[in-house]
């Protein structure tokens, strides 16, 4: 299962890099979202995909699941949601003011006009 998850993480990372290298601001935002999802899956996979009991002190199970990767992913999901919403508001406001989402035009280069 870890091999399959590693392949999915690689596909998400490659798609995210492809989208982040484009000229459209919306595609860059989608790429950062895919990159964060890939990072979440990477943390989960590297933590080990095990089955076992919840790590409770009163229980006497033989195999426990490590809660640290899940806590890290939960924190990363909240942070990536905040960053993505900020990027979307920033893109919407820049489109309202400048009328474009092309990165070359937002930089101010006149060679593409």
Q: Output the tens digit of pLDDT for each of the chain's 113 residues.
A: 889 999 999 999 999 999 999 999 999 999 999 999 999 999 988 887 777 666 666 667 677 777 888 889 999 999 999 999 999 999 999 999 988 888 888 887 666 55
Cα separation, 34 vs 23, whole angstroms:
17
**Domain containing residue 83: CATH number:** 1.10.287.3510
- Say whether pTM exceeds 0.85: no
pLDDT at position 80 is 95
pLDDT at position 30 is 96
Residue 96 belongs to a domain? yes
Residue 28 belongs to a domain? yes
Task: Check if the beta carbon of residue 66 is closer than 8 Å to that of residue 47.
Answer: yes
Residue 80 belongs to a domain? yes
Domain that holds residue 27: 2-56+64-107
Q: How many domains does the chain have?
A: 1
Length of the chain: 113
Cα separation, 45 vs 7, whole angstroms:
11
Residue 112 belongs to a domain? no
């Amino acid at each position: 299962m870890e091999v399959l998850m590693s392949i999915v993480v690689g596909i998400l990372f490659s798609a995210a890099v492809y989208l982040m290298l484009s000229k459209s601001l919306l595609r860059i935002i989608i790429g950062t979202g895919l990159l964060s999802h890939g990072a979440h899956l990477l943390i989960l996979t590297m933590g080990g995909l095990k089955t076992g009991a919840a790590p409770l002190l009163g229980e006497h199970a033989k195999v426990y699941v490590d809660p640290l990767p899940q806590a890290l992913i939960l924190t990363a999901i909240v942070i990536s949601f905040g960053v993505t919403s900020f990027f979307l508001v920033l893109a919407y406001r820049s489109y309202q003011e400048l009328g474009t989402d092309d990165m070359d035009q937002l930089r101010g280069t006149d060679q593409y006009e």
